[in-house]
Structure 1
């Protein structure tokens, strides 16, 4: 059994080599489909093939070439865009100084928000290896030895980390790749079967192209479907691994003094209330924090096992990664909206789960169940008055 260090070495070596094989595979498929099938088999079949009933078919060749060069560029561009992000902007958090957890700076990045993920004591999650506080949904990747913003997974097929910075392009690559490999697989299967039936031979280069197309088609379709499903639920691959048992502690700002309630059940609030800034952390506050520099109190909320605090609905979940406009879903240009982190209230938008917890804790008003009955009473009263006037 390989040690963790040797396993990391293997994975990182594979991540450096596999993209070269991926590119070589596309070049090989292009040569087979364009040269061997479209040109040599369909446009200029040999005299032997023509005698065996395989005539020139210019229309079929043109259709194949047009469709092939429609499907190839978007897949290739999305793959190269994914690689470019991995090489230049993979989404690593900054490394901290050799400070202890109790005195490490940087807490102002959290207590200027209204809600943030914390531990059971109300402090942000600490990474002992990076010596820094972890922003919401950040995961430490053992393969690269760094914390990564909204890390999805480490993928050797694309050369490294899939994170919030390139998840959109990764989804686009797999989606376009599914279309491309399906097309290549169908073309190769149809003409390989025809050639075997009429000419009685099987070209090895054709068979290899069919096998590669089928293998990558299964991979692309499965990965595209899986990633889109998780994205529609606002989950990363890592978060999904422990989805059924995951429990999150959330520090929620107490806007004004008043009673807070402890919900009954597994969810609710934890040890109590934590105050920021405190004496142990006197780091320099943000320059534009203004009135936020005052002392802020947070109540510690706890989700139920399996609840996803970031689920804001399937369409909005998808838009947070793919973009707000239809062309953003198709073009590998803009970063995902979730990478901006420009919200005042939190690092990521929270959904109904957090709203429910805040309401149960008394941080926001409860829905008034008596309002409908009062409205009905007023309507009945007005109706009775009209009837009295008529009589």
Structure 2
């Protein structure tokens, strides 16, 4: 059993780099054919447009380096991100780890490994949060477990076969930049070929060298790749404008296959109780959308718009208010529990005002599954 599992894992690790290797090989081939067979042999030597040829070679090589640099960041240096371990929410009163006291009674303890439940979280029909068995951790909103990486990825978008990694919260902006710069590179390849192909063929009729077959093949590959990249970029930007991941958009379009409901546990301040509310996927469509398209784009790409075009990314780094002990207890020095926001840091997903209003409207109409009281609501703040 363990041997077959190890073989499967090794195969997955090896398979991850097959398609990126093909893309890198075609990129090297296309660059060679474009720079040598078109720019140097035809534009520089035959047509004598030397400054144009040198400029095209320099720009294409520069974009090649940018694309490879972004890929290294996206796959090797940054990655999609890893959700921090989240202990169970403090919903039920817990028993002291030291057991019963001298009289045999059990006291409610504040020294149990648990987190104050946030005001709203995704749950099952009974109000209990979603648990990830492989990670032994709660799965927070928009987080999905990656079997390829072996851990939960915050804001899981999709697994890109051509890149060879999962796209998540940390490397999402790098993925957009990768597709955008790659599209620009391919455009710069096929467009000059189309511009000069007439001059080259006319010169061939006057006993000049013919258009090299490698240039023709590069033209076909560049157009095909450009169409794929631009369509991917357009779809992704459209999803970002709605504050949706690619996975959420796919699940939303295939409701019958992926289920038809989302369930949330919401703490109502006036009622001092939690309500379990159910939504179908049509209602859930805009749950993460902010007030404007620009706000949605900033939620994915970052608030600094200059960094949208600068191909430099790094994983989120943050420090909690407390040092977590080796045992995993999330305790402040005073004994106060930490909140989910203090554990997740920048990985915390916040519901939109539309979402909160929709939940409160259902509660006001009595349209909820059940109610419950969480012990953690009485001892700490909720975020």
User: After TM superposition, is the score higher than 0.5?
Assistant: yes
Deviation at 1:361, TM superposition (A): 5.1
1:212 and 2:221 correspond: yes
Aligned to 1:159: 164
Counterpart Cα distance in 1 of 2:62 and 2:346? 43
- 5+ residue gaps, structure 2: 1-5, 95-110, 320-340, 365-383
1:355 and 2:326 correspond: no
Q: Say which SS state the counterpart of residue 159 (structure 2) adopts.
A: strand
Aligned to 1:301: 277
Deviations 1:7-40 (A, max 9, x none): 9987654421222222222222222222222222
2:306 aligns with one of 327, 347, 350:
327
Q: Is the 8 A contact 1:151 1:163 kept in 2?
A: yes
Counterpart Cα distance in 2 of 1:356 and 1:20? 48
Aligned to 2:74: 82
Q: Is the 8 A contact 1:168 1:335 kept in 2?
A: no
Deviation at 1:248, TM superposition (A): 1.9
1:248/1:347 CA distance change after superposition, 3 Å: farther
1:17/1:346 CA distance change after superposition, 3 Å: closer
Q: Is the 8 A contact 2:74 2:80 kept in 1?
A: no
Q: Say which SS state the counterpart of residue 299 (structure 1) adopts.
A: strand
Q: Say which SS state the counterpart of residue 16 (structure 2) adopts.
A: helix
1:65 and 2:61 correspond: no
1:178 and 2:178 correspond: no
Q: Say which SS state the counterpart of residue 261 (structure 2) adopts.
A: coil
1:162/1:184 CA distance change after superposition, 3 Å: same
Higher RCO (CA 8 Å, separation ≥ 6 residues): 2
Please give the TM-score of this superposition, normalised by the length of structure 2. 0.68
Aligned to 2:323: none
Please give the TM-score of this superposition, normalised by the length of structure 1. 0.67
Counterpart Cα distance in 2 of 1:345 and 1:20? 33
Q: Which has the larger Rg? A: 1
Aligned to 2:81: 91
C-alpha RMSD over aligned residues: 3.7
Counterpart Cα distance in 2 of 1:175 and 1:346? 25
1:11/1:199 CA distance change after superposition, 3 Å: farther
Deviation at 1:199, TM superposition (A): 1.2
Q: Is the 8 A contact 1:91 1:165 kept in 2?
A: yes
Aligned to 2:42: 41
Counterpart Cα distance in 1 of 2:295 and 2:244? 13
